[in-house]
């Protein structure tokens, strides 16, 4: 009870709450009159709440008291605290669920907002131990620039991170070099080490409290359904009791397997689409075709294979596998994938398959739906993978998360009252559109490129060959696409131009470049199509163009839809 009174004293502005707090089912008239006229008395409000727990709040005269909902929520928090004297509770300005890429950087960023009364932030993470995952290991140059903006550039120092100067794409054993422009560099690292560095920054930030606890539910106001905070269980021995954490604003950054996505998004939510899986191992002392470059090997009959250095001696290999997953994944990689990789990688791959545990993750696509509208929950926001995911082929997830944090911090810096959902709603609308140039470019590119590189029909195979040959042309045909992929250029319009340039170039290649053809005696010869092949090629061109449209335009649509 004492705790409750302290809490109520802290959150309640006596004059405002007093006028129109709770109306009880019994003695409704009397209670309404008393509560609407008398000065606020926390003890009395709590006694009434306890005496009549099934309260009816709806009859309060909202038209006379426009701030009633806010006050109801404040009292509701106090009542919840009081309803179980064993329940611990703390109140913050902002709660963040998940200390991963988005959550840790956001906690650090928000703590630096200059305010008369600094924000009190609580960052809840289910395990503060170093994660061991196959995700988030290559940060694009655009991501490095955003990390610098957030004052977190030092997080890639002292973790044995390795610079990455671009890509090498390999098709049929032939490599094409795709350097980042202007000597820009990204970097590869062990995900866990980077996360620990981000968390250390969040922990050291003023007014950020990092709590090791698993969040199990969102606490909602029973009347307005607004989220008031969360319930969580601390990761301590014998800690079975749930604690309540209240805040004016709750931000959920609990990653790709989010438990709260559908609750927050409601009818506005979309289900993530699993495009494929990445199966990962670490190769020891592997020699990539171009050192310190991410390598993408385009494999026939399967999705692409991605390789990049994540430490001096460690190279991550991610093999894309589509559903249904082979029952013998090791056998699949050994027999179907490895023979198509550069020969210098065969021994390290064999060793890794013998010694390392194969790990896999779903590669999901989740387009961003607007938050803050009438269908989404009030008082809570989703950030990071819990809200928006793209195929990890292009390694853009962390960059998008940092971009979101940069914009959100700027917008939240001007918020006067974090419990004013109207103000937050407008801000979410601005955030949605301000993040588009980078996020939409990375989202669309990742899935479109995956469809081409993982070509599983004839038209897509034509586009894949055309895309490879487009890169071989060099100049803007390399610099444009790699600038989009790396976050150096953030423009869906430039992406549109390059994508359809690839589509038309693929058609041109079909007509003008030599193709392998098998002769009557079983030999393979390369011939340029003659006039007699043109009718067939014209029909095929229409199919290829149509395929390009159905790959790109629906993706574009997911980004431009405004509701």
- Which is closer to ligand FAD, CB of 42 or CB of 384? 384
Near ligand FAD by CB under 6 A: residue from 46, 263, 281, 398: 398
- Which is closer to ligand FAD, CB of 23 or CB of 205? 205
Q: Please state the three-class secondary structure of 464-519 as a single string.
A: HHHHHHHHHCCCHHHHHHHHHHCCCCCCHHHHHHHHHHHHHHHHHHHHHCCEEEEC
Residues 6+ apart with CB under 8 A from 18: 35, 38, 39, 40, 41
Would you give the DSSP letter of residue 272? -
- Which is closer to ligand FAD, CB of 102 or CB of 317? 102
Q: Confirm if 63 and 46 have CB atoms less than 8 A apart.
A: no
In the region spanning residues 41 to 80, those forming contacts with ligand FAD, defined by CB under 6 A, are: none
Part of the chain binding ligand FAD (CB under 6 A), chosen from 136-144, 323-331, 448-456, 479-487: 136-144
Part of the chain binding ligand FAD (CB under 6 A), chosen from 219-227, 254-262, 332-340, 373-381: 254-262
Part of the chain binding ligand FAD (CB under 6 A), chosen from 44-52, 264-272, 340-348, 394-402: 394-402
Site string for ligand FAD, 452-491 (x = CB under 6 A): ----------------------------------------
- Which is closer to ligand FAD, CB of 22 or CB of 164? 164
Phi then psi for 544, rounded to 5 degrees?
A: -65, -45
CA triple 367-371-373, angle to 5 deg: 125
- Strands (E) in 12-137, as ranges, are 89-97, 121-125
In the region spanning residues 101 to 120, those forming contacts with ligand FAD, defined by CB under 6 A, are: 101-103
Near ligand FAD by CB under 6 A: residue from 214, 244, 376, 403: 214
How many amino acids of this chain bind ligand FAD (CB under 6 A)? Answer: 36
Near ligand FAD by CB under 6 A: residue from 361, 494, 533, 537: 361
Q: How far is CA 367 from CA 118, 426, 494, in A?
A: 34, 20, 20
For ligand FAD, the nearest residue by Cβ is 100
Near ligand FAD by CB under 6 A: residue from 100, 141, 348, 372: 100
Part of the chain binding ligand FAD (CB under 6 A), chosen from 21-29, 128-136, 366-374, 507-515: 128-136
Q: Confirm if 149 and 408 have CB atoms less than 8 A apart.
A: no
- Which is closer to ligand FAD, CB of 141 or CB of 396? 396
CA distance 401 to 384: 5
Question: Positive or negative, the Cα torsion across 278, 283, 289, 291?
Answer: positive
Assess 384 for contact with ligand FAD (CB under 6 A): yes
Helices marked H in 342-435:
346-355, 397-412, 421-434
Near ligand FAD by CB under 6 A: residue from 21, 57, 170, 215: 215
Q: How far is CA 250 from CA 91, 195, 418, 459, in A?
A: 11, 21, 10, 46
In the region spanning residues 520 to 559, those forming contacts with ligand FAD, defined by CB under 6 A, are: none
Part of the chain binding ligand FAD (CB under 6 A), chosen from 15-23, 121-129, 162-170, 472-480: 121-129
- Which is closer to ligand FAD, CB of 428 or CB of 463? 428
113-117 contacts: CB < 8 A, separation 24 or more? 113/409, 113/412, 113/413, 114/413
CA distance 399 to 401: 5
Q: Confirm if 2 and 42 have CB atoms less than 8 A apart.
A: no
- Which is closer to ligand FAD, CB of 390 or CB of 464? 390
Binding footprint of ligand FAD on the chain (CB under 6 A): 97-103, 124-127, 134-139, 214-215, 253-255, 259, 278, 361, 363, 384-386, 392, 395-399, 401
């Amino acid at each position: 009870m004492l705790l409750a009174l302290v809490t109520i004293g802290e959150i309640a502005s006596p004059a405002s709450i007093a006028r129109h707090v709770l109306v009880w089912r019994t003695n409704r008239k009397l209670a309404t009159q008393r509560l609407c006229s008398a000065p606020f008395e926390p003890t009395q409000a709590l006694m009434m709440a306890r005496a009549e727990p099934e309260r009816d709040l709806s009859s309060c005269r909202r038209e006379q008291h426009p701030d009633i909902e806010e006050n109801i929520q404040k009292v509701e928090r106090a009542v919840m605290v009081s309803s179980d004297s064993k329940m611990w509770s703390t109140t913050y300005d902002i709660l963040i669920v998940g200390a991963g890429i988005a959550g840790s950087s956001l906690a650090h960023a928000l703590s630096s907002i200059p305010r008369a009364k600094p924000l009190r932030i609580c960052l809840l993470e289910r395990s503060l131990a170093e994660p061991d995952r196959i995700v988030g290991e290559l940060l694009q140059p655009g991501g490095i620039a955003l990390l610098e903006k957030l004052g977190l550039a030092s997080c890639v120092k002292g973790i044995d991170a390795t610079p990455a100067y671009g890509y090498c794409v390999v098709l049929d054993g032939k490599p094409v070099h795709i350097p980042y422009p202007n000597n820009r560099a990204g970097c590869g690292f062990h995900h866990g080490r980077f996360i620990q560095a981000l968390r250390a920054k969040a922990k050291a930030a003023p007014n950020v409290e990092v709590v090791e606890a698993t969040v199990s539910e969102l606490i909602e106001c029973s009347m307005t359904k607004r989220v008031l905070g969360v319930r969580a269980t601390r990761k301590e021995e014998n800690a079975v009791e749930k604690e309540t954490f209240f805040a004016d604003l709750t931000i959920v950054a609990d990653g790709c397997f989010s438990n709260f996505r559908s609750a927050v998004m409601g009818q506005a939510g979309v289900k993530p689409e699993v495009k494929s899986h990445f199966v990962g191992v670490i190769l020891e002392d592997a020699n990539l075709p171009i050192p310190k470059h991410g390598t993408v090997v385009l494999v026939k009959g399967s999705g692409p294979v991605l390789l990049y250095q994540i430490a001096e001696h460690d190279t991550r290999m991610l093999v894309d596998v589509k559903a249904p997953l082979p029952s013998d994944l090791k056998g699949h990689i050994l027999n179907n994938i490895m023979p198509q990789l550069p020969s210098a990688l065969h021994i390290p791959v064999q060793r890794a398959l013998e010694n390392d545990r194969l790990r896999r993750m779903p590669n999901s696509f989740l387009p961003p739906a607007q938050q803050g509208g009438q269908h989404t929950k009030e008082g809570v926001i989703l950030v990071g993978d819990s809200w928006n995911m793209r195929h990890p082929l292009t390694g853009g997830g962390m960059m998008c998360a940092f971009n979101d944090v940069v914009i959100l911090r700027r917008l939240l810096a001007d918020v006067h009252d974090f419990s004013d959902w109207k103000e937050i709603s407008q801000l979410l609308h601005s955030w949605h559109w301000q993040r588009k140039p980078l996020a939409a470019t990375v989202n669309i590119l990742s899935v479109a490129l995956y469809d081409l590189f993982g070509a599983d029909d004839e038209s897509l195979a034509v586009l894949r060959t055309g895309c490879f040959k487009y890169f071989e042309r060099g100049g803007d045909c390399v610099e444009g696409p790699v600038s989009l992929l790396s976050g150096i250029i953030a423009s869906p319009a430039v992406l549109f131009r390059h994508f359809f340039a690839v589509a038309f170039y693929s058609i041109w290649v079909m007509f003008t470049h030599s193709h392998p053809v098998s002769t009557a005696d079983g030999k393979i010869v390369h011939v340029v199509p003659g006039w007699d092949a043109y009718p067939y090629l014209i029909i095929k061109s229409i199919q290829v163009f149509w395929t390009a449209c159905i790959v790109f335009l629906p993706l574009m649509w997911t980004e431009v839809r405004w509701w």
